Amino acid sequence: MRPTNAGIRQSWLYLFGPNAIILKAKCIMSEKATRHMALALKEAEAAASRSEVPVGAVLVAPDGRPFASDGNRTLERNDPTAHAEILVIRHACQATGSQRLPGFDLYVTLEPCAMCAAAISFARIRRLYFAAPDPKSGGVEHGAAFFQRDTCHHAPEVYGGIAETEAADLLKRFFAARRGEN
């Protein structure tokens, strides 16, 4: 019986080294990774239904099970820091009684902003998986490129492009509707 690639997707792996050297390599994502991102996409859809920018995040425990999931809630909470990434990190830190989350992996539907990238670093998240890049406000590949800075104490492994099309389409539809386009 021949092995099959069913359930396997390709993505980009970013490794940050000394002097902000970036190694970008194609990698294969497991079905588990795409399943976690699918849950993040559901959180993003729920955020959109609340008129929030549709970004969702899932924090996965070291044993591989989803530990926390949420979507943006900045409008609902009148809190500019209530990004999906921040919310799941806060939940996990409170639940574990620690400000550090080594061994945890974060799945998010949009490239994290600089604020969220800093929180990911401070929490010592092991791996970051994101769907769509954010050339305007991203803080990982774009903009601040937080993990490439000398002042960054911890840089997670970063995998981009998982379910990129689905996440980008959700964002495009959301903003088109806000502009009154169909």
Please write down the HEC assignment for all residues of 102-171: CCCEEEEEECCCHHHHHHHHHCCCCEEEEEECCCCCCCCCCCCCHHHCCCCCCCCEEEECCCHHHHHHHH
pLDDT at 34: 85
Give the tokens for residue 122.
């401070």
pLDDT at 181: 76
Catalytic residue chosen out of the listed positions 85, 111, 141, 164 = 85
Report pLDDT digits (tens) over 116-134.
999 999 999 999 999 999 9
pLDDT at 40: 98
User: Across residues 150-169, what is the average pLDDT?
Assistant: 94
**Is position 85 annotated as part of the catalytic site?**
yes
What is the percent of the chain where pLDDT is above 90?
77
pLDDT at 9: 43
User: Across residues 93-114, what is the average pLDDT?
Assistant: 98
Give the tokens for residue 111.
């490239």
pLDDT at 37: 96
